[in-house]
């Protein structure tokens, strides 16, 4: 089976989208399927990667996005897909690539779209109150669902805006985590000491530094903790349009801004060496960095309005973290509630173990109606029709 995935906003410094494409590619190929991913680049380029054939198409930089790119020519993209003749088509952009739904259906190619964002949340965050935000969101979501065979939501939070309008072709498929590379065994006392620089508590923020993710909340949390007598230090991993503003806000504070780190093993070592990982984005529909943190044995404090709480096992005696209202004060209180609780590292890891990437692959294969090598169904999932969410 030839599976083609088209995604905008993929680039050298992108996080979740890139990780998702790479893990899907590895998983499909493991079961004997061909995987091709088409992404924006500076020029046309074909290259074979461990994740499948990567095809880059010329693209524009989206202004104000911090170097995110979108494919320039619809015609070139359509021509490429005509030549590739995919058996299945996956789309990772609900805004600029919706035309591919009609394109695929005209050629009898089964096509699905990932809803990686909460459009309702973005509308309420960025559109003026006088605009008919809910009506606009509902119209767009109905239109999106009508153009694709399935809309894939990764969490209940992401699914809600589609459930509310009665979307019949909605499917919930959670993303996974690399349990091998993000593990408690990566914890390094030497690295921890170097990062702390004499402080006592190590906080880490890992993610894109963009307005909708509210990265300044992590700095506000640090300030509040220090006001409360907690000798904490914050390490920020990531880049984005707020990079300069955050560095300015962090002046004079025990904050290290490390920028984007391409070496995933280094990121894993930092995450596992921290005491608490902060995920302040109020609109996160999944947040892979939060899942990578708990996989590393590090509990997470996340925004109470995001999806992250869904995999922190908050109903357990020893959860994998905590959620907080969107203020530095509330985040600081949540951090303090997690300190000096040794069992949290074990329970954080256990929570992550329920979301391996192989589970995601199995569910995607069921959705596509395909199986593994030699017509053998993947062992971790029963051979059944995947139910819509």
Least confident of 189-198, 306-315, 319-328, 334-343: 334-343
- Is there a domain that residue 344 lies in? yes
Whether the pLDDT of residue 184 is over 70: the answer is yes
- The residues facing 163 across adjacent strands are none
User: Is 313 found in the same domain as 193?
Assistant: yes
**First CA to last CA across the chain, in angstroms?**
25
DSSP state of 64: T
- Per-residue pLDDT averaged across 280-309, rounded? 95
Q: Which of 231, 237, 248, 225 is CA-nearest to residue 196?
A: 231
Residue 79 falls inside a structural domain:
yes
pLDDT, averaged across the chain: 91
d(CA 335, CA 217): 13
Q: Are 264 and 124 part of one and the same domain?
A: no
Find the mean pLDDT for residues 210-223.
Answer: 96
SS3 of residue 122 by DSSP: helix
Asked whether residue 261 is domain-assigned, the answer is yes
What is the number of domains present in the chain? Answer: 2
For residues 330 and 190, membership in a common domain is answered with yes
Q: Does residue 383 register a pLDDT over 60? A: no
Q: Tell me the residue range of the domain where 216 lies.
A: 184-352
Which residue pairs from 195-198 have beta carbons closer than 8 angstroms and sit at least 24 positions apart in sequence? 195/233, 195/235, 195/256, 195/270, 195/273, 195/274, 196/233, 197/233, 197/254
Pairing assessment for the beta strands 2-7 and 34-41 based on DSSP bridges: parallel
Taking only the tens place, the pLDDT of each residue in 75-129 is 999 999 999 999 999 999 888 899 999 999 999 999 999 998 888 878 887 888 8
Are residues 362 and 281 located together in one domain of the fold? Answer: no
Is 232 within a domain?
yes
The answer, yes or no, to whether residue 375 has pLDDT greater than 80, is: no
Residue 351: CB partners within 8 Å, gap ≥ 6? 294, 311, 312, 313, 319, 320
Name the burial class of residue 317, with classes exposed (0-12), middle (13-18) and buried (19+) by CB atoms within 10 angstroms of its CB: exposed
């Amino acid at each position: 089976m030839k599976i083609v995935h088209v995604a905008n906003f993929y680039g050298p410094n992108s996080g979740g989208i890139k990780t998702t494409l790479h893990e899907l590619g590895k998983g499909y190929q493991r079961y004997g399927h061909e995987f091709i991913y088409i992404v924006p680049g500076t020029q046309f380029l074909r290259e074979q990667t461990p994740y499948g054939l990567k095809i880059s198409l010329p693209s524009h930089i989206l202004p104000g996005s911090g170097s995110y790119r979108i494919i320039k020519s619809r015609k070139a993209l359509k021509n490429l897909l005509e030549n590739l003749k995919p058996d299945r088509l996956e789309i990772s952009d609900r805004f600029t690539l919706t035309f591919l739904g009609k394109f695929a259906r005209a050629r009898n190619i089964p096509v699905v779209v990932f809803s990686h964002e909460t459009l309702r949340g973005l509308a309420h965050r960025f559109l003026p109150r006088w605009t008919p935000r809910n009506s606009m969101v509902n119209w767009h979501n109905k239109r999106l669902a009508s153009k694709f065979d399935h809309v894939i939501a990764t969490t209940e939070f992401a699914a809600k805006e589609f459930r509310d309008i009665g979307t019949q072709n909605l499917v919930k498929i959670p993303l996974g985590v690399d349990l091998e590379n993000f593990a408690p065994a990566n914890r390094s006392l030497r690295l921890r000491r170097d990062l702390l620089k004499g402080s006592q508590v190590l906080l880490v923020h890992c993610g894109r530094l963009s307005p909708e993710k509210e990265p300044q909340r992590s700095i506000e949390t640090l300030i509040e903790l220090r006001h409360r007598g907690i000798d904490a230090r914050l390490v920020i991993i990531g880049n984005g349009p707020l990079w300069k503003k955050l560095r300015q806000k962090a002046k004079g504070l025990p904050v290290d801004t490390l920028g984007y780190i391409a070496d995933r093993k280094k990121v894993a070592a930092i995450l596992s060496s921290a005491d608490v990982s902060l995920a302040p984005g109020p609109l996160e529909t999944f947040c892979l960095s939060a899942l990578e943190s708990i996989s590393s044995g590090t509990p997470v404090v996340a925004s109470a309005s995001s999806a992250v709480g869904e995999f922190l096992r908050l109903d357990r005696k020893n959860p994998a973290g905590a959620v907080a209202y969107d203020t530095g004060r509330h985040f600081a209180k949540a951090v303090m509630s997690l300190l000096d609780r040794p069992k949290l590292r074990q329970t954080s890891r256990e929570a992550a173990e329920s979301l391996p990437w192989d589970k995601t692959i199995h569910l995607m294969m069921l959705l596509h109606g395909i199986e593994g090598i030699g017509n053998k169904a993947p062992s971790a999932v029963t051979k059944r029709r995947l139910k819509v969410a």
